[in-house]
Structures are given as C-alpha cells and as structure tokens.
Amino acid sequence: MKTFTATPADISHDWHVVDADGVPLGRLASAVAQLIRGKHKPTYTPHMDGGDFVIVINASKVKLTGKKLTKKHYFSHTGYMGHERFTAARDLLAKQHMRGKLKVYGGTEHPHVAQQPKPFSVTPSKVSA
C-alpha cells in the first residue's frame, strides 16, 4: 500500500461557520485550528495547504472559564535587556487581529453569505465557572 500525498488538484477549500456563543475559548481555538489546518479531512498532507476557511460568529459571547480575563498575562521578549512585554488576555481578545483563513465577528451577521458556509458545531463542555 502506498502513502497518499495530496496534490493541488486534490485539494478543495470549504467554508465553515462556527458559533462561539457559550463555548470555552480553548475548546473553540482547538476546533478552529483543526479546520484551518485541514486535519479533519482524510486527504490531510502536512506540507500542503488543505485547510478550510472559518467564520467565527458571536465571538463577544465566548466563555472564559475561571479568572483568565483578568489574571492571565502573555509574555514576550525582544532579546534586549529590559524589553519584556506583558499583554493581558482582554487586550488580545479586543484586537481580533486574525489573518488568512479566519474571519471573526462579534455578532451573528457576517458578509460571507456568497461563499455558502456550512455550519460547524463545537459542543460546550460542562465546566462550571
């Protein structure tokens, strides 16, 4: 049996709509990352771009468990002494700086109706806050 390797002729890019209302942020990020990378397809090949486009709606209603919104900080360093950068989680959520195949919208409306996106559901867990 030979190993399958996808070619550009084998790849098709679909559009998916994911509703983030009440879904924990980590669970949502994991599901969206799999869709963008294309790991949900049987024709997944690591060196080819076989992923799909993802539209996330209701991003303002995503569930943050615990106190991550106020207590979690992200650290980065430029390489120079004293140039540490700390960013709060709420600042990263407010920017919505996403590129490429991910489109994020705070409400339920999006301008990508012409692409005929398919609904994709991410089940919220039963984690209590």
Spatial contact of 104 and 56, defined as CB atoms under 8 Å apart: yes
- pLDDT category at 100 given cuts 50, 70, 90 is confident
Which pLDDT tens digit goes with each residue over 54-71? 999 999 888 877 776 677
**DSSP character at residue 106:** S
Spatial contact of 61 and 108, defined as CB atoms under 8 Å apart: no
Containing structural domain, residue 34: 15-64+97-120
CATH code, 44: 3.90.1180.10
On whether residue 125 sits in a domain, the answer given is no
**Residues in Cβ contact with 44 at an 8 Å cutoff, skipping those fewer than 6 apart:** 6, 37, 38, 50
Q: What is the pTM of this model?
A: 0.71
On whether residue 76 sits in a domain, the answer given is no
Phi and psi angles of residue 59, each rounded to the nearest 5 degrees, phi first: -65, -25
On whether residue 71 sits in a domain, the answer given is no
pLDDT of residue 128: 42
Total structural domains in the chain?
A: 1
pLDDT of residue 78: 85
HSE, CB side, 13 Å, CA atoms: give it for residue 51: 16
pLDDT of residue 126: 53
On whether residue 60 sits in a domain, the answer given is yes
On whether residue 46 sits in a domain, the answer given is yes
State the DSSP string of 61-88: G-B--TTHHHH-EEEEE-SSTT-EEEEE
